[in-house]
Structures are given as C-alpha cells and as structure tokens.
Chains A and B, each alone.
Chain A
C-alpha cells in the first residue's frame, strides 16, 4: 500500500515491453538445439561432452574473472557465457580433447569478452576468438575431423572435410563437380544439407538444422534477416562468378551448404555486440563477410574462411557504424 503522498514519479514511458537480455540469450540457445541434436546423432555422445565442457568452462571463467578479478557482481545468469560456450563448441571437432575446449573457452571469455569489459563491449566475436586461437595453436587437433558414424563405432575414423577435398582438387587443377567422386569421401549436396556422413565441426554439419534455428530467431525477432541473407547472397554471387569463369572453383550451392557458412552467418555474424546497428551497415557487413569467405576459401591458405571473414568484418563494425546511419524520417 502506498500512501497518497508517496506516489512514484518517473519520466515516460511507464511500461516496458518485457524483453530482456536473458530472453534473447535463451532464444539463441533454443535456436541452437536442432543443430546440437544433429551433431549428437551424427557424432555420438562426444559432441555433447565437448559442448558441456565448453559451456561449463565458459561460465566458470566468466564468473571467476568478473567476481575475483573485476570485483563486480557476476552476470553469468544473463546466459551470454552459455551462448559463447555452445558456439565455441560448435566450431570444434567432436573428438577434440576436452581440456582444449576448456582452454578455448578461457581465451574466448577472458581475451575475447572480459578484457573489453564484458557483454556488449567486446569488439570481436568471443567464440571465434577462442576458435581461431585453438586453430592456430593446435592445428593438428583442430583439423582432425571425425567422420560421422553416430553411435555405431567407438573408434574415431577421421577424414577430410568437403572443403578440404575441394581445396585439394583446386590445387591439382582438377575440375570441381557438383557431386564429388564417391569412395573418396564424396558427398552429394543433399548430404551437405542434412550433414549426413559429412566431416566437419561439431555444430556446422547440418545446414538444415541451422536454418531451422534461423527461422526461430526470426520469428522471435531476436535477429533480423539482413546479415545472414547478405552473407548468403554475396557468397552465392561471388562463387557463381568464379565457377562460371573457371569450373575448378566450386559452385554457389556447395559453398553455401558446406563448412561454417550457415553457422557463421546465422549465429556468429549476427552477434549483437560485434555487428552493425543500422540496416545499411548490416548489408555492407554481410557482403564483406561473404566476399572474404569466398576469397579465403578459394585463394587463401585455409580451406575454410568464415571465421576469419567474420573477425575481419567485426573489426570494421565501428567504422561501419560511424558512416552508415539509419534512414532518417523524411
């Protein structure tokens, strides 16, 4: 009961829409579930263990750093560390030693996020900082891709990813064919889409599961379609041109469905803190990621380039924000 002379006075608006950081983070986690389910089906329990290790360590490191280093109230309940952990795990091979996953989390949270001041203040996508650190420091473990065989065998069989096969073919100037030769670990485009029998990172293998998550994020209005779609369009356009000039280069569908494009475009490039604020900026940012991805894949040293492309465009985001202002009324 409030006596008449003690009314609360504050400026308008007097109602709030009820959106919160927690709701957004929970939404992202729900959107990641189909892909996690697919990876457990294809890679077995190992995928789940890696994910749990990455999440648990990410949350722990954030808590410890914030509480004991920064002496701030902990913010782990906002769920952002959980998202970073899951995304990092999705970028790792399912057979990676668990301590490496934890080390990746330490770099992701410690260097990628907390050193900038925590959620919202980081320049680079934390999960990708963790992944690239591992990729450069532990190249062997990070590129030993298990071939998905679900729960059937316990012996890990490793093999090259489709992108690595294409890179080999490209180096040997062999023509790229839509369906890679069977028996050489070949895959149809449908395999790439579902993730069946395709080697690769834990979370990236099923394009369809990731697209399902994309639909959920759009329905819940957690992200807009502009960044992912501009990435898809620029990848399709640029790879189509290259493929048309020289058929040794893989075609647009292959590039869209293989590797980390779906995971990167839908879940990594759309990271709030590291992507532009205006629609126009989003288009430029997305187009940059798509173009850089194709450049790295076709002309760079690595078979896959989504992570690097996103990190490079992360660095451009402040500049994009400065020059791409939203459309003014009238």
Chain B
C-alpha cells in the first residue's frame, strides 16, 4: 500500500466520531461572519448596521485576485460590522448578524441536473461559479479555490488529487462526507477536472477509513472517467500537500515550489463538495461539516454547521463543555489552534473542535536534548529539528535559512516525538517568521 517515504509518525487514531452521521446543527441566535476566512486580502463589507440579509447573500466582496467572497450563512439583521477575535487570537473585521428565521437567497436553488452542468458549463463558467460562491480550501489552508484552479501561464496541470487522507487524529468530517456524499463528491471531482482541464484524478484516502474507500470505489466504478481511489497506509502527515502528492503519484514537488510545478493540483474533499454545491445549486460556502470531539464530551459528533456560529454553540450541541476541560482546539490535535475563548466562530476552514481535558492539556517540562535523532527521523521534509531549535534559540537566522527552515510544513511530528519533550516546533516557527522577514527585506 502506498504512503510517503520520508519520516512521519503514528499518533493515536482517536476517530471516535467515525460512525456518527452528519447532523445539522440548530441555528444559533447570533453569528459573526469574519471577512477574512481565507488567505489573502480580507473581503470588503457590502452591508451595514441595520441591513436585512438572507442566507446565501453576498455580504463581503473579494478584494483582489487572492481573496474570496463572503456570504451570510443566516437570515436576519446586521447588528454591526466590527473587529471580532478569531482562532488566531487577533481581532479581525466581521459581520455580526442576529438570526431571524431561515430565509435563503432566491438564487440558491437547483435549476438543472448535475449532468447538465457537466456537459453544458464551460470551464470559465465553472470557475466563475466557484469564485462567486467564495469557495476556499477547506482542509485548513483556506486558499481561494479559484486561484488554485487557475494555474499560472506556462504550467500544465495533469492530475487532480482529491485529499481524503484526513490524517489528523480525532477528525472525521471528511470521512463522513465521503461516506454520505460520495455521489456528489464524484460529480464535484469531475467539475474540478473540467475546470482544470485534466483527464486524471486520484482520490487519496487513508486505510483507517475502509468504509469510505469502499463507498468511493463503488461510486467511481459506476462512473469511472479517469478517477481512481488510492488507499494509503496510515501515516501522519499524509494529508500534507507534498506528502500526499508523493504518496499517490510518486511525484515530488521541489522545495519552495507549488504542486503545479509537478503537474498536480490538490483539493480537499470538503472543497470538492463546496464546488459541487456552488455549481449545481448556486449555493455559496456558508456551512460546513465540523467534527466536535474530545475524550470527555458527552455527544461527540459530526455537525453541519453554519459559518459564523460560535464554537460554544457547537460544544452545547455536543453536550456542553465538560468540567475537566483544559483546552479547546480549533482543528485537529497536531496542527489545530488552541482557542482563548469558545466565543470564537466557525469559519470556512474549521474542520473540527477538539476539547482536551486539563490533565492532557499541559506539556511536560522541556529537558536538554539527548541527541537521539528521533526528530530527524520523523521529519517528513528531511530537516534537522534539533539543530533548527538550537539555532533558533540563539537567533542564528542565517544558519536557520541554510538549514532549510522554510521547508518546514509545521506538522509537529518533531515535537510529538521528542523524548525530552522539547518545544521544537514552537522555536522553529518563530525562526521561520524571522527568516521570512529576512528574505522579504532582501527583495
């Protein structure tokens, strides 16, 4: 069975919500929809205090090429447009809406069958629909999908890879999507293939999801057309773009380059589903599947949640915040962000909410490096985390750059593995930002 070759770890699976069907979440009383849910320029607000909005209505316009539209996820009244603290801990502009009823914008409805769009829609029309719907990468990077689907001049995409690896422990949102929406995902994949102009697509799924592999395979054999399901041997970080490309195709993306340099474009299954809805029912990206999980949660599950709903709303649905809670993470345990408050809202990139008991929330004290080389062994990019950390502590920015610190994908395998419990990734991340600044100032 295929997997990537360099490094990698085997964290505990903890997919306790793998069997929970996607359940729609009741509407919250109020939402705050950030205008910056994507990489790039924040959207420009198109509504003001007091405006009435409908679900699916455009409330923030993309500001430039690398930006994305933002739509209202609910119907109601705009209470304010103000800065709201997001998962990163920074206050960023958001549209606060009081929810009234659930009235959708008239444009959001199915007019033709999906097959109609496959045959009748041109590449440009598909891209326009995806762009209009504000679809961004839903695996966590939140890169505007339209940009990824428009390869720069001179590059030629050959393969579309659909990322169903979901290698983060605990998370099952993509898993459930593949089980419950396999037909839609397949059509969505064909949309994206057409939009990219490629004949081949590979759906990469880790083999801890045999049911998803079987269902997607069954769907593929019914329709075929150059789409292949590729089971992958479980190893973290399989869902890392470069790792997934190597695992499924054997191609290696050169350092510092984008996947298109290897003729590949990768999209998460969540993104594919959003593109499907954007094209067939003109539905903007205003809701997504979020795994709400944790060892002490009463009702962990996969919830279909409107963008802008506070995390506390999700946790209430899952049985409320357990008394032993120490940490609430947006995303998975390996790469997710710890939240300072459960008032932070769900965005297009929120794949999960993980509640960690206090007993497991604190790190053990860091000790001297014993030079066991385990961090070197697990690094999927072939770096020397122990050395980068030492260089980082001594602010040797130039040496860090020569140590290829910018290759680091921040997967956290080094910190996870270190027997001396050293905060390797923390220091490397700081060093990365210093090196990044140094590179910028040279230009």
A: which residues have CB within 8 A of B?
A: 1-2, 4-5, 7-17, 19-21, 23-24, 78, 80, 117-121, 224, 272-273, 275-278, 321, 325-330
Contacts and interface: CB of A to CB of B under 8 A. Distances in A.
Contacts of A118: 368
Dominant SS at the A interface? loop
A330 B321 CA distance: 44
Q: What are the 9 A-B residue pairs with the smallest beta carbon separation, nearest first?
A: A13-B412, A330-B252, A120-B370, A19-B419, A272-B372, A328-B382, A277-B373, A15-B333, A9-B338
Contact of A2 (B325, B373, B376, B426): B325
Given A7-B326, A8-B326, A329-B252, 6 more contacts: A11-B423, A12-B410, A14-B327, A15-B169, A15-B333, A16-B364
Nearest to B324: A1
Nearest to B423: A11
B340 A9 contact: yes
B287 to A, nearest CB: 25
B339 A7 contact: yes
B439 interface: no
B82 to A, nearest CB: 20
Contacts of B336: 12, 14
Interface stretch (B33-41, B102-110, B355-363): B355-363
Nearest to A24: B419
B421 A329 contact: no
A23 B410 CA distance: 26
Nearest to B364: A16
B148 interface: no
Nearest to B236: A13
A13 B384 contact: no
A240 B416 CA distance: 44
A13 B425 contact: yes
Nearest to B10: A17
B370 A277 contact: no
Interface string B326-364: 111101011111111110000000000010101011111
Contacts of B328: 7
A230 to B, nearest CB: 15
B371 A273 contact: yes
B208 interface: no
Contact of A14 (B356, B368, B417, B423): B356
Contacts of B242: 329-330
Contacts of B6: 327, 329
Contacts, number: 157
B425 A277 contact: no
B325 A13 contact: no
A235 B339 CA distance: 56
A109 to B, nearest CB: 16
Nearest to A20: B419
B419 A7 contact: no
Nearest to B374: A19
B11 A17 contact: yes
B417 A7 contact: no
Contacts of A17: 9, 11, 416-417
Q: Which of A5, A13, A326 has the most CB of B within 10 A?
A: A13
Given A2-B358, A8-B338, A13 B252 contact: no
Contacts of B372: 24, 272
Interface string B402-430: 00100100101001111111010110010
Nearest to B357: A2
Given A16-B415, A16-B421, A329-B407, A21 B253 contact: no
A272 B386 CA distance: 13
Interface string B365-391: 001111111101101111110110000
Contacts of B323: 1
A278 B376 contact: yes
Contacts of B169: 15
Nearest to B327: A8
A285 to B, nearest CB: 12
B19 interface: no
A326 B379 contact: yes
Contacts of B421: 16, 20
A261 to B, nearest CB: 23
B255 interface: yes
B210 interface: no
